[in-house]
Structure 1
Amino acid sequence: MTNSPPLPDSTAPSAASPASRNPERRREPLEGYADHADAVRLHASLIDDDPAAMFQEMRRKHGPLVPILLDDMPAWFVIGYRELHHVTSQPQLFGRDPRRWNMRDHLPPDWPSLPYVTWQPSVMYSEGVEHQRRSGAISDALDTVDRTELTLICEQVADLAIDEFSGDGQTDLISQYAYRIPAQVVTRLFGLSETDLPHLVKDVNHVLGGSEEAASALPRVLGRMGRLITDKRARPGHDITSHLLAHAARLTDEEIVQDLIVLMIASHDSSANWIGNTLRLMLVDDHFSMNLQGGRSSVGEALNEVLWKDPPSPNLPSRWAVQDCELAGRRIRRGDLLVLGVAAANADPQVQPAAHAGSGANRAHMSFSHGEYGCPFPAPELGEIIAKTAVEVLLDRLPDVYLTVKPDALRWRPSLWVRSLEALPVRFSPTVPVGQSPSNTWGAPR
């Protein structure tokens, strides 16, 4: 759904990165960056529960384009809505290939955000005609997904997840629900066999979570996706993989494997965070919590509110200047890194002073980025179906769900790149699993 990397960040870096503890390592990349003398230091430990105040102070001191030291590497933080729209609308000026970065030779091997700026042969880092060829094939394949069938798959997956804890009367809605759903839905759309599904989803969660098994899990993911390509060449079906294989773009097997992995991991991480952040909002906000007992009318509004206030990917280290240029009155050098401040741009008072007052109906947010390198992972419409269905099923199944801690006790995962709760502990009245109820049929309309 967003420009998440194939290998996202796993654990929060320490308050002082290795580079910041070594003055000699820090000094060299700053040569020639006199305009970064008052740069804002940006690293995960600075992101608190409410970053809005930090954005406001940055905007007051620096305007819509902030010179930053991203874990001690000079870069630019685009926090103005108009400026972010301009950058994402000009692919000829601001490219997506991280090999353009003029600081890449200075990166230490333990730089915290290295996975986000490491080039890989996927659609995510392609540009120009090549990007159009590969993203066009993905878009065409996603267009073949039947929306009704997608909703039914989401309901089945969500019901199965709830069945695992419905009799307990308590659970963590992040690890036991939000992170159990998107990958299972997307891999079913790929046409993966039911026997391979649980193993692949488990390995995806290892990769995303950065566990000790992540290094061994990624080759297993690659292997399973390679076998999927072989199977679908022999026995094509009505699934995303088969459509990519048959597409006029003539993608190679390696290209399809790379792009399916990007599609799966990016959609899983961002959709899971969208689900979790929406459930949090509906449990802690009086406006939404009052509607938990009487239907679904507020679910769509809550989903959109989250995209304004707590987007799943608040910042994206994803543009590099193709040539020397000017932005917001500042000189940008060829190869400079621009970090897209999605959450900050959404909060830009110059564009929308009262944006959040009516944001439930306003969809002008930048949470899916914009332009040619915007979000195809999956199409925002499909991502919304996944998130909306997951929230609706939970509220249908557990109508009396409530938080077991005070709202201010909830903690956000310390990260620059994802907006995700560490946990969302809840209680509810224990219920009989759907699979044990004779009145329920998989896929029955809710």
Structure 2
Amino acid sequence: MADGQFGFATRAVHAGNIPDKATGARALPIYESAAFVFENSDDAAARFALRKYGEIYSRIVNPTVAALEERVASLEGGLGAVATASGMAAEFITFVALAGQGDRIVASSQLYGGTITQLDVTLRRLGIETVFVDGDDPADYAAVIDDRTKLVYAEAVANPSGEIADIEGLAEVAHAARIPLVVDSTMATPYLMRPIEHGADIVIHSATKFLSGAGTVLGGVVVDSGTFHWDEDKFPLFYEPVPSYNGLTWVGNFAQYAFLTRLRAEQLRDVGPAISAHSAFLIAQGVETLPLRVQRQVDNTREIAAWLEAQPQVEAVHWAGLASHPHHDRALKYFPNAGSGSVFSFDIRGGRAAGRRFIDSLNLFSHVANIGDVKSLAIHPASTTHGQLSDEQLREAGIGEGTIRLSIGIETAADLIADLGQALENSQESAGADGTQSGAHSEEDRS
């Protein structure tokens, strides 16, 4: 039976891994080796020249890492994947593989704070400009794409606003401009939605989150659909001879594998954000239970989001699975079976002061700067994960003074609701009758 004919849960367990031929080990072996022995001098030369596939050095290829890459690519429906040391590393090597000095990226303003800073600060220092689009209409993206633009970038489910990207619409806009659509699908997971099926060309995951699932390890994955045509006028580097590899060209020698090969043989080689074999093993173990975990998390989220929406201390709940959310119809389109993820935000009455009291009152929820854990997590984005953003950037990202982000785990939903309930009560202790906080605008609260 071909790989694509197996069900999702089967591939989550088996893709990329067969029993070890030498020992019979059924679990994925951890190849903790920096380098690998060559068969002979000709073999070594062929591998270094990219004329032959094989392990050289774990910064570029490692058997344990390769198993993880194949597993995630199978789940996303991609041609292949490259794993990295973190989600931020996965983003960075993708951006610098596609854009250089004088080029432009068009991106949603509804992004994780670290991504916004990478685009707006680090890449800008390298001469790569990013135009952030404050809106969800693909036409808004088309309006700012110019001849220098090399990619369109968005999150499938925005962190933490919960907005759902119109992936099909964005793909049409990007492809009309002969550039790829790159989607961060960390919050969606391949279990809930696969962007490639809706027209995305490249998918990025922070494997630290749901793919791992236990909050124990860092990692990132870049998945390539293998279907994007690299136009020579838009992407000349894919066609120019590569001096460090004896004049080969990425498209000419590797065809549909051009992007993946360049990402591995150039970006991993030169920038060096390699994931360790042990980290790849832990993430691969997590992927095996991905469908079970995510389904439980979404079931909990549906119950908790509906409960929060009915609480007097809550001004708004931003989860697209609710009929009240402006992107509810879009969520039904892209997430028809299970719901739009288990990470969402809500706005608490009383602003920043109430938000602080809420966070400090939680017992079962952990105050952690992470998402996708089997344990439920909570954080106040404006003062933490997105604290480096300006007031305007916070507004564009859909984050208010009283916005709380929750990542729902697999615990009993009633226990989580009880914890949220007592924290909501405590958050309003010094609130006036109208729900505003006494002293809410003090200098301390503004810090």
> Which structure would you say has the larger RCO, counting Cα contacts within 8 Å and 6 or more residues apart?
1
The answer to which structure has the higher helix fraction is: 1
Interval containing the TM-score (normalised by the shorter chain)? under 0.3
TM-score w.r.t. length of structure 1: 0.27
